[in-house]
Structures are given as structure tokens and as C-alpha cells.
Amino acid sequence: MTSIVIPAHNEGRVIGRLLDALLADASTPTASSASGPDVVVVCNGCTDDTAEVAAARGPRVRVVEIPTPSKHTALRVGDEHAHGFPRLYVDADVVVGAADVRALAGALTRNPNLLATAPGRDVPLTGCAWPVRAYYQVWQRLPAVREGLFGRGVIAVSETGHARITALPPLMADDLAASLAFGPGERRVVEAARVVVHPPRTWSDLVRRRIRAATSSAEYERFQASRRADAPAMPSARTGTADLRALLRTQPRLLPAVVVFVVAALAARRGARKAIRGGDFSTWLRDESSRGN
């Protein structure tokens, strides 16, 4: 049986749409089991109605409540309650369906050398401010973003892959670390499976999200630097000027969007300085505009 772990902190406005998509055809004859996937929602430190919204979906969803507002703790607790493999970790603010879950799990079960999968990414930009649309025009075309498992809000792992990611330390960039923990032959983006990732709608919320990304990347790099000298080097997913130049060589019309991308990156770098200097890798800046109706 496939297990799905959903960490959720104050996601009452959006978790219903995710659960409805996951459960829409969970009991059809084509589903992976007669009862559908094992879904565990871990409400961590919630002060809203997240638990009530999840529980209203019935017995196919098991709701676990913990007082600590920590995604890492929620993932660990979810693992304690989940029963099966392949196992998916799904952010509460994305939308992925039951058929997509089956595609991700099926890719893992058919190929024993494959340890982790993630779905193709759909980012609906209607209603977003023009600088946000420009930013994502560039971001979605970057090689690391296209090929990596991060930034999708969904990752599926086999039992062997699960052992790999549970050995990682608690990091804010948990999806980035999980993606980079697997080599190119061990991970795959399954384009037949799709996830809807709702972007921020305003420039200020985009910058908040990028500050979080810059802070978490710095923490990940500190983790790399702290590893034993004889430990195998882990790759980086940072965007360099070479990536942007290569993009402009093939698509020069994107120059204005690249300028916006660079401005956002510089703003995020400035905004992250205080947290990085102070070693604050626990303050979770999230944008609320992507959680609007």
C-alpha cells in the first residue's frame, strides 16, 4: 500500500483541495488498492481548523495532531504512523491527484534502481503581478529546476530511498536536500504525473519566499561544509550567471525577465543576511497570497 504523509501547519484554507484531489478516485478499480492510499495528515502546532477540515474527509484520512510547529517533526511523526511503501511526502498547499500518486509509485515499483520520483510541475500564473510572472518565466527554465525533485511539494521514495533521506539532518531546505541526496540515475521527474504549485501573487510575497530559499540554501551549504573531508561531495542547485547567460543565448527575448529574476535574487540575498549571520534556520517565512481562494 502506498502511504502519503502530509505535514500541515495552519493550512485549513487549502488542505481540503489537496485531500479532495487525492481521494477523488481512490476507490476505483484502477486504484493501487481497494481502499486507496494510506493518507496521514500531521497537523503541527495548528491554531486554525486544519485538523477539522482534514478529518471531515472521513476515515480514509488519519489526522495526527502535535503541539510543535515543526515540519521536520511532523515528517518524523508521519513516518511513525504511515504503513507502506512507496511513500510520498506532500506539502499541504499543492494539488496532486490519485492518478498522479499512482504514476509516481508505479515508476518506483517497476524500477528497483529508482529510489525517488517527483511529478511534473504546473505553476498557474493567472492573477499574479507581472514581476512574479517574469520571475517564473526564468525560474521554470533553469536546468536544476527542471531536473531536480525540489520545488514541487511532492516527493515519492522507495523503502531504500526512504532510508537515504531519513539519514539527513533536519534542514529547512528539506526538499532540496532530499533531491540532491540521489544521483541522476536514482531519481526521476515523472512528467506523466502533475502537481499544481500555487505561486505567490505579489512581489513582496515572492521576495519573502526567495528569502526563505536563500536562507535554507545557506543552511544546506553549511551542512555540506561540516561533513567529513572524506565524505562524497554533494551537488549544488544554485543558479549561476552561466545558467542565465546560456538561457539568454537560446531565448534572448527573456532579457527583461532575467533582469527581474536577478533583482529578486539580490533582494532575497539581502533579506537573508540577518538570519544567516544569526544562524536562524527555523523562522519559516511563507507567503499567504498563494493560499488565497
In the DSSP assignment, the letter for residue 50 is H
Shared domain for 192 and 53, answered yes or no, is yes
For residue 170, the model assigns a pLDDT of: 84
Average the pLDDT over 82-100 and give the result: 96
Percent of the chain beyond pLDDT 90?
Answer: 73
Least confident span in 2-16, 109-123, 209-223? 209-223
pLDDT per residue as tens digits for the range 153-189? 999 999 999 999 998 888 877 888 899 899 999 999 9
Torsion sign over Cα 87, 93, 94, 100: positive
Average pLDDT value for the chain: 90
Shared domain for 260 and 172, answered yes or no, is no
Q: Is the pLDDT of residue 125 over 70?
A: yes
Shared domain for 180 and 214, answered yes or no, is no
Percent of the chain beyond pLDDT 70?
Answer: 92
Shared domain for 223 and 109, answered yes or no, is no
Distances (CA, A) of 49 to 16, 198, 223, 258: 11, 21, 35, 40
Nearest to 94 by CA among 32, 150, 171: 150
Q: Do you know the residue count of the chain?
A: 293
In the DSSP assignment, the letter for residue 200 is P
Shared domain for 154 and 102, answered yes or no, is yes
For residue 282, the model assigns a pLDDT of: 74
Looking at per-residue pLDDT, the higher value among 233 and 213 belongs to: 213
Shared domain for 109 and 163, answered yes or no, is yes
For residue 230, the model assigns a pLDDT of: 56
For residue 29, the model assigns a pLDDT of: 44
Max mean pLDDT among 17-26, 183-192, 272-281 falls in 183-192
- Any domain includes 83: yes
Shared domain for 192 and 215, answered yes or no, is no
Average the pLDDT over 179-206 and give the result: 95
Burial pattern 36-72, b for ≥16 Cβ within 10 A else e, equals bbbbbbbbbbbeebbbebbbebeeebbbbbbeebbbb
- Any domain includes 91: yes
CATH for 36: 3.90.550.10
Average the pLDDT over 206-233 and give the result: 80
Q: How does residue 14 score in pLDDT terms, banded at 50, 70 and 90?
A: very high
Least confident span in 2-16, 77-91, 199-213, 236-250? 236-250
Q: What is the C-alpha separation between 226 and 73, in angstroms, rounded?
A: 22
Shared domain for 166 and 254, answered yes or no, is no
Task: Find the domain containing 52 and state its range.
Answer: 3-123+147-199
Shared domain for 222 and 193, answered yes or no, is no
Average the pLDDT over 185-204 and give the result: 97
Q: Terminal CA-to-CA distance of the chain, rounded, Å? A: 33
Q: Are 213 and 267 in contact (CB under 8 A)?
A: no
Domain count, the chain: 2
For residue 248, the model assigns a pLDDT of: 97
Model confidence pTM above 0.85 = yes
Shared domain for 228 and 254, answered yes or no, is yes
Q: What is the C-alpha separation between 84 and 184, in angstroms, rounded?
A: 25
Max mean pLDDT among 69-73, 192-196, 211-215 falls in 192-196
Q: Is the pLDDT of residue 105 over 50?
A: yes
- Any domain includes 129: no
For residue 88, the model assigns a pLDDT of: 98
User: If DSSP codes are grouped into helix, strand and coil, which group holds residue 249?
Assistant: helix
For residue 37, the model assigns a pLDDT of: 85
pLDDT per residue as tens digits for the range 25-75? 754 444 444 457 899 999 999 999 999 999 999 999 999 999 999 999 999
For 288, the grid coordinates are 499567504
Query: How many CB atoms neighbour CB 125 within 10 A?
Result: 17
Q: What is the C-alpha separation between 176 and 98, in angstroms, rounded?
A: 24
For 16, the grid coordinates are 481540503
Shared domain for 22 and 157, answered yes or no, is yes
